[in-house]
Amino acid sequence: MKISSGAVVEGGTSLNYKTGNWRDQRPEIDPESCKQCGICQEVCPDDAVRQVRDRYEIDYNFCKGCGICAYECTAEAIRMKNEEK
C-alpha cells in the first residue's frame, strides 16, 4: 500500500497477508451436522468460510479463530478445537 500526503493512492489487500497463523483455536465443521444454511459464511469477519460445491469449508490461511462462526451456528456443527502447531 502506498500513502502520499495522507491519501492512499494504491490499495492494499488482505489476500497478501496470511493471517491464519494468529489463532490458538480453529473451527472445525462437522459435515454430518451442517445444514448448509450459510450463516457461518455470512458472519465470518475474515471471509474465511467458503462454499465449495455442496459443503462449507474454512480457509485456515485467513481464519483467525475468533469463534464467531461456531457461536452463530444454529446446528452446532462447528466446534472450536485447540490449534496444534
Domains and CATH numbers, the chain: 15-82 (3.30.70.20)
Report how far residue 72's alpha carbon sits from residue 45's, in angstroms, rounded to the nearest whole number: 12
Per-residue pLDDT for 3 more than 50?
A: no
Q: What is the per-residue pLDDT for 41?
A: 96
CA dihedral 54→58→62→66, nearest 10 degrees, is 130
Rama region for 44: left / alpha / beta (φ>0; ψ in -120 to 50; rest): beta
Q: What is the per-residue pLDDT for 31?
A: 94
Q: What is the per-residue pLDDT for 4?
A: 46
Alpha-helical segments (H) within 19-77: 39-43, 68-72
For residue range 10-66, what is the model confidence (pLDDT) as tens digits?
A: 555 666 667 777 789 999 999 999 999 999 999 999 899 999 999 999 999 999 999
Q: What is the per-residue pLDDT for 84?
A: 81
